[in-house]
Amino acid sequence: MKRYTIIFATIFATLFSVPARSQDVLTKMQNGEDVNVVFKNMAVGGIFIHTEGWGFFFRKGKILSIHRKWFWELETATMHSDKEHKIRNSSYPDASAYYFGKLNGMQALRVGSGFYTMLWRKNNEHCVEIDAVYAVGFSLAILKPVYLQIIEPTPSPDTFILSSEKYDPNKDTPQNIYGRASVFDGLGELNFYPGGYARAGLNFDYANRHNLLKSIETGLEFDAYPQEIPIMAPELTSNNRFFLNLYLNINFGKRWF
């Protein structure tokens, strides 16, 4: 009888100690204490720059093991052509600078998934964890036509009129362009080019709390489209359908159960 009493007491204590320990962990975390526990979920977001622009991103994922994490990501980035060259109409001191020959502004929207694979483990809060990062997914190039302020002559040689017009490489020259128009001009004339992307990089997590994520990531990103993306006027220069860029991002986030 005594043996059964001991067994029952052990089971009872085990069942009720697990919730108590879980509650104790939650209480410590709510009080701002650092607790080393096994988390299941993660989310990060931040800003990044790359060799042809900048953008924002968000990732959410599952912690599969101490060595591997899966995530899906959403990001948007400006994309420039390496042939863009900013100039200004020297005949008018107040004229604004613009990219001559630029036909469309490009924004890339990416949706995909990938993995973090641990290369170097963080043994304590003062160390840095290093992960290999790789992802693939869908990339959508969104193009907005460039509008410029065009100089319209008047009968008086000392006055002129400015009109906002879509850039036309067949008639617009540095002499009749005053500068860039409003960024909102052309929003109703968007064009879309679907494609794909891939990335590979290294992520350096330097957070000093187990439930927080603070990291710097750097690597290469590659966008590919079935046809050339007309950023520049084809009458003046060539365009690309492949974009390879070096990127650097700073991200913040958290882990949770």
Please report the pLDDT score of residue 115 as a whole number.
98
Per-state percent for the chain, helix, strand, coil, to nearest 5: 10, 55, 35
Helix (H) or strand (E) holding 150: strand 147-153
Please report the pLDDT score of residue 69 as a whole number.
96
Is 60's pLDDT higher than 70? yes
Is 2's pLDDT higher than 70? no
Is 32's pLDDT higher than 50? no
Percent of the residues in the chain that have a pLDDT greater than 70, as a whole number: 86
Please report the pLDDT score of residue 23 as a whole number.
47
- Give me the domains of the chain, ranges plus CATH numbers: 34-256 (2.40.160.20)
**Using an 8 Å Cβ cutoff, are 193 and 141 in contact?**
yes
**Around 251, how many Cα atoms within 13 Å sit in the side-chain half-sphere?**
27
